[in-house]
Amino acid sequence: MGKDLTISEIERQNVLNNQVAIQNMQQALDIEGMLFEGAYRFTKQMVADYFEISISTVDRYLEQYSDELRHNGYVLIKGKRLKDFKLQFGHIINEATKTSVLGLFDFRSFLNMGMLITGNDKAKALRSSILDIVISTINEKTGGGTKYINRRDPNYVIAAVVEENYRKNLTSAINECVSGHETMKYAQITDYIYKAVFKENAKEYREILKLSQKDNVRHTLYSEVLLVISSFENGVGAEIRKQYENKGNERLAVKEVERIVQDLSESPMQTPYLNDARTKMASRDLGFRDAYHGNIAEYLRAITPEEYERFIGSQSVDFDKILEENQDVLRRLKQVEDEQ
C-alpha angle 240-243-249 in degrees, rounded to nearest 5? 100
- Mean pLDDT of all residues in 128-140: 91
pLDDT, position 330 = 54
pLDDT, position 4 = 84
- List strand residue ranges (DSSP E) for 38-128, in order: 39-43, 75-78, 101-106
Count the residues in the chain: 340
Q: How much of the chain, in percent, has pLDDT values that exceed 90?
A: 74
- Mean pLDDT of all residues in 115-119: 96
pLDDT, position 340 = 46
For the cut 80, the answer to whether the pLDDT of residue 313 exceeds it is yes
Is the separation of the CB atoms in 303 and 313 below 8 Å?
no
Q: What is the pTM assigned to this prediction? A: 0.84
Residue pLDDT, tens place only, 252-267: 999 999 999 999 999 9
Residue pLDDT, tens place only, 151-180: 999 889 888 888 888 899 999 999 999 999
Q: Considering the chain, what is the average pLDDT of its residues?
A: 90
Residue pLDDT, tens place only, 50-70: 999 999 999 999 999 999 999
Radius of gyration of the chain (CA): 26
CA separation for the pair 16, 204 (Å, rounded): 30
Is the separation of the CB atoms in 222 and 205 below 8 Å?
no
pLDDT, position 164 = 86
pLDDT, position 331 = 60
